[in-house]
Structure 1
Amino acid sequence: MTTPRPQVPVIVLAGYLGAGKTTLLNHVLRQPGARVGVVINDFGDINVDAAWVSGQIDEPAAISGGCLCCISDTNELDTALERLAAPRLRLDAIIVEASGLADPATLARMVRFSGAEGTRLGGVAEVVDAVHHAHTAPSGHDAATRWGAASLVVVNKLDLLSPGDRAAYVGAIADTVHARNPRALVVGTSAGSIDPALLYGVSEAADDPAQLPLRELLLEEARPHPHVHADAVSVRAPAGADPGRVIDLLERPPAGVYRMKGTVVVRSGTRWRSYAVNLVGSSIHVASAPRAERSELAAIGLHLDVDTVRHRLDHAVAPGAGAPPAVGLRRLQRYRRLSR
């Protein structure tokens, strides 16, 4: 039996010119732990933005010639993603930094339906300039599509506002975003200093010393934390998760949870099957996974009620009594078909 190829999450990093996308990207790349590939989109024959990316990039791939979502031939993007998703690189995530004029919803569709094998859409992060947001904020149809596509909205440059105004300002932007997309996570920061865990999760392959497992990256207490720090909860359980409970958790995650990732082992007839499950915002992705001996699940978010989240995760992956309900298994497999 052929082992399924691991799928590398591709995160679209969007935002208007000057919002701080490259600053945020540099901050993330400087953090220890994960192996990240980068695709930088720019105008003209020279990728000006690429010169400003000073962090550690395991495998860069630059795309020139215009806004990605305006390219009639998407082969260039597919080629870059295919190159970065090669198993030999062992990348944990790929970040596509879009030009300021790119439409994130269109870009997300291009990534989701890319011909690149071994990739999946890992979410859309929109960077907002706190100082000039009032002049660049989308409105009408543009607002509905832009905020609707976002799984993470980063309100950047808060240090340029008076301390007493920052919380109210972020709250006002969050209200605007949530009116169109209630599941989007909105955070405020300065100099793009977010916890990389909000942007991507990394491999669960704990037995491979060349990889950093998700729980190790998130729970290592000695690592210096950036200004916006994510909470994380992880659980393990013997094989036999109830697929219906797993889908219930993914469809209705605990308050504050922005991402979930892990492997669940369920019974299908007389056989055990392993599935890799991922949640980013409201986007659920399920894929077949290499055979595992146990279920593992991790949740990431801000200001989590850790006890409540742990209880929900434990309940989802705890072995059920007897064979799992056929309805739950069909729901899980439906998400797997939709995720292809």
Structure 2
Amino acid sequence: MGSIPVIAVTGYLGAGKTSLLNHVLRTPHARIGVVVNDFGDINVDAGLVSGQVDEPASIAGGCICCLPDDGELDAALARLADPKLRLDAIIIEASGLADPVSLARMVGFSGVEGVRDGGVIDVVDAATHFEKVDDGVVPPARYGAATLVVVNKLDQLPESDRETTVRRIEQRVHQRNPRAQVVGAVGGRIDPALLYDVAAARDEYGQLSFRDALFDLTEPDETPHHHVHADSVTVTSAGDVDPDAVLDMLESPPAGVYRLKGTVAVRHRSRTRAYVVNVVGPSVHLRRGDTGTAANTLVAIGMHLDMEDVRSRLSAAVAPSERNPSPAALRRLQRYLGR
């Protein structure tokens, strides 16, 4: 089993973190672990959480990013990283007072085996954001830690103002963090594919799973949980690739791409080694894959992608190379393995 992405959900009180979290927990067949900050402002649907794991890991004693050390968070992550749970992702809820910069540091430098940084999702209230959060000349520091900014509660704005508000927030975010992605939402309903991969359904085809029976995707007296679907581009190739070409693309993905994943084959002298790659925002993660394969696959996931441009760039990155990689290219690859 590969490493489990750890996704932090931040945002001021009332921005809609609860709605977003409970929405993604309803993803059919997904197995999500949740770290709950007891003094936080989120009231996670206990039934949804218990449908994923036995119970959420809990951190008490105030704001999660103000803990005297990272030990308590690491203990919670280690518990949820147990392979027996077969989780697709771990989500940390943070109180409205939590500092996204500190939380990103805690996750990024966690020493827990089997987990990796899955990004920081900052949820903002479209109707009050510029009065409560971004009210100064300089964009707030929290933008610098975010990998995905969800402009929520767009339904509380006149329809004619929604696109303008999203673009205004996007411009402010990009002043501080050009790599962050910005997406609009109503009720926190973003495509879960932006956050994690759902493992293959383990139930028999034609049978209704326990979760399907217990949690219908429609709340009483509400419309279904529609959301704008993410775009996805997949390319494949056979043969060994140039690691420099792959890393250049991973470090600077095509416009609009939020996540990249896949496997690539690289020649090391007389043999081929496979590497599993995962990218979220600026975080690039590599690990060794199965040896002996010469198959390459890259998948890009994001919003409003220029599909042909993304396909062209991914294809160029995994184009077969006849030359052996240079020692410098292999060292560059090795540096990512050590992270």
TM-score (normalizing by structure 1): 0.86
1:331 maps to 332
1:263 match: 263
User: 1:228 deviation in Å?
Assistant: 2.2
3-state DSSP of counterpart to 1:114: coil
Distance 1:141 1:58 in 2: 43
1:17 to 9, 13, 16: 13
The residue identity in structure 1 corresponding to 2:181 is L
Deviations 1:215-268 (A, max 9, x none): xxxxxxxx9983221000112222412111101111221121111011111111
Partner of 2:121: 125
**Which one-letter code corresponds to 1:58 in the other structure?**
Q
1:319 alignment partner AA = P
Task: Report the equivalent of 1:80.
Answer: 76
SS at match of 2:187: coil
The residue that corresponds to 2:210 in the other structure is none
- CA positional deviation for 1:145: 2.6
**1:48, distance to aligned residue in structure 2 (A):** 7.0
Change (3 A) 1:39 1:133: same
Question: How is 1:134-149 mapped onto 2 (pairs within 5 angstroms)?
Answer: 134-138=130-134, 143-149=139-145
> Counterparts of 1:284 and 1:144 in 2: how far apart (Å)?
25
Whole-angstrom CA distance in 2 between matches of 1:201 and 1:139: 36
Question: Once superposed, which parts of structure 1, at least 4 consecutive aligned residues long, lie more than 6 Å away?
Answer: none
2-structure distance, mates of 1:173, 1:231: 22
> For 1:251 and 1:48, how far apart are their aligned partners in 2?
35
Paired with 1:139 and 1:290, the residues of 2 have a C-alpha distance of 51
Q: How far apart in 2 are the matches of 1:243 and 1:181?
A: 27
- Structure 1, unaligned runs of 5 or more: 212-222
Distance (whole Å) between structure 2 residues aligned to residue 76 and residue 284 of structure 1: 26
Counterpart check, 1:241 vs 2:241? yes
Residues 49 and 253 (structure 1 numbering): CA distance in 2 closer, same or farther, change over 3 Å? closer
One-letter amino acid of the structure 1 residue matched with residue 313 of structure 2: R
Q: Which residue in the other structure is 1:314 paired with?
A: 315
Percent identity of paired positions between Structure 1 and Structure 2: 56
CA contact (8 A) 2:8 2:92 kept: yes
Change over 3 Å in CA distance of 1:226–1:333 after alignment to 2: farther
Query: What's the CA shift for 1:202?
Result: 4.8
Deviations 1:64-105 (A, max 9, x none): 221111010322211110111111111111110111111111
> In the alignment, is the contact (CA less than 8 A) between 1:243 and 1:324 conserved in 2?
yes
Structure 1 residue 289: Cα displacement? 2.5
CA distance in 1, matches of 2:325, 2:137: 44
Q: C-alpha distance in 1, partners of 2:309/2:290? A: 30
Greater displacement, 59-68 / 93-102: 59-68
- Taking the aligned partners of 2:311 and 2:258, their CA distance within structure 1 comes to 15
TM (norm. structure 2) is: 0.86
Counterpart for residue 27 of structure 2 = 31
Deviation at 1:143, TM superposition (A): 4.4
For the residue of structure 2 that corresponds to 1:23, the secondary structure is helix
* Equivalent in 35, 39, 55 of residue 48 of structure 2: 55
Gaps of 5+ in 2: 204-216, 218-223
What residue in structure 2 maps to residue 200 of structure 1? Answer: 196
Q: How many pairs align? A: 316
Equivalent position amino acid for 2:74 in 1: D
